[in-house]
Amino acid sequence: MTALLTVENVTRRFGGVHALRDVALDVCEGETHAVIGPNGAGKSTLFKLIGGQLAATAGTIGYDGARVDRLPPHQRARRGIAIAFQDAPVFRGMTVAENAMVGAHAVTRAGPLAAILRSPRHRREELEIRAAAAEALKRVGLAGWADRPAEDLPLGQQRALQLARALCGRPRLLLLDEPASGLRGPERSALAELIEDLRGSGLSILLVEHDVGFVARLADRVTVLDLGRVIAHGTFARIRVDPAVIAAYLGGAE
């Protein structure tokens, strides 16, 4: 399979702390790849380096055959890298459709001046954004909720809305930061099913998740980080019996 995302020898320091040290991984077309690791392993830092919210101290990030590590976040978004952050809120006081549309605004080109002047280009983009939002809401099963206030949605469906917002920019690579956190059993399995559907439609997914059952169900491959280093990678069946992984999760106490 062809790699869509390639992270090579990436290091990120914060002062004297190595949040990531010489990390490598790739995400193939249509693959769901999970990154797991104990608290402080460097998972969030890795996501922010891929999304462009942080710069690497060393190393390269390639996407779709080109280096993207020097690009600002909105240019990475335009190329098809979307992030659904666990802590990105659903905007209260806006409808479900308006919340989804926010995701498309991140990848439009007309800019604020065109919006103020209501230029033809801006009007055309608005129509495209509405269509993309409707399509994204349908994909996550929220088409019937489009005109409802977003805060009416139960938590599981708020997560689906966060996904719709990311899908609105029609990405090829979706970065999911702890999508299952705080969800109960049935909501969690509904979300897992939704992510399986997205993968089935050809989307490539990089997933950070603490819920082991979720990772076991969804991930084709898993990369395990500990203290900023990759300590194991492979299928879930393989990494779950890896002594280095067991030691990292038990704090070396077994």
Binding site for ligand ATP (CB under 6 A): 14, 17, 19, 37, 39-45
CB 105 within 8 A of CB 129: yes
CB of 38 to ligand ATP, least distance (A): 7
Name 95's bridge partners: 149
Which of residues 117 and 250 has its CB atom nearest to ligand ATP in the complex? Answer: 250
Which of residues 13 and 240 has its CB atom nearest to ligand ATP in the complex? Answer: 13
What gap in Å lies between CA 222 and CA 224, rounded to an integer? 6
What gap in Å lies between CA 219 and CA 35, rounded to an integer? 9
Which of residues 2 and 39 has its CB atom nearest to ligand ATP in the complex? Answer: 39
CB of 184 to ligand ATP, least distance (A): 21
End-to-end CA distance of the chain: 37
Which of residues 42 and 169 has its CB atom nearest to ligand ATP in the complex? Answer: 42
CB of 7 to ligand ATP, least distance (A): 14
Which of residues 46 and 133 has its CB atom nearest to ligand ATP in the complex? Answer: 46
Contacts of 31 (CB under 8 A, 6+ apart): 1, 199, 204, 205, 220, 221
CB of 211 to ligand ATP, least distance (A): 12
Residue 94's H or E segment, with its range, is none
What gap in Å lies between CA 62 and CA 115, rounded to an integer? 33
CA proximity to 90, closest of 144, 141, 166, 143: 166
